[in-house]
Amino acid sequence: MSESVAVPSLSGTQEAILAAYAELIEELGSDDVSYRVIARRAGIAERTVFRNYPTRVDLLLATSAWIEATLFAREESHSIFDLPLAIREAMQRYDERPELAHVVAETAMRGVNGAAPSPGRAQLERLLDAEVPSLDPAQRRAVVAALSHLDSVGTWVTFRREFGMDRRDIADAAAWAAEAVLDRLRDRTTPA
Describe the crossing of helices 153-163 and 83-96 by its angle, rounded to 10 degrees.
Answer: 60
* DSSP output for 54-68: -SHHHHHHHHHHHII
pTM for this predicted structure: 0.83
122-160 pLDDT, tens digit per residue, is 889 999 999 999 999 999 999 999 999 898 899 999 999
**Quick one: pLDDT at residue 163?**
95
Buried b (16+ CB within 10 A) or exposed e, 85-116: ebbbebbebbbebeebbbbbbbbbbeeeeebe
Per run of 10 residues, the mean pLDDT along the chain (length 192 residues) is 56 96 92 92 96 93 92 89 94 94 85 56 90 92 92 92 95 96 86 63
**Quick one: pLDDT at residue 64?**
92
88-102 pLDDT, tens digit per residue, is 999 999 999 999 999
**Quick one: pLDDT at residue 189?**
80
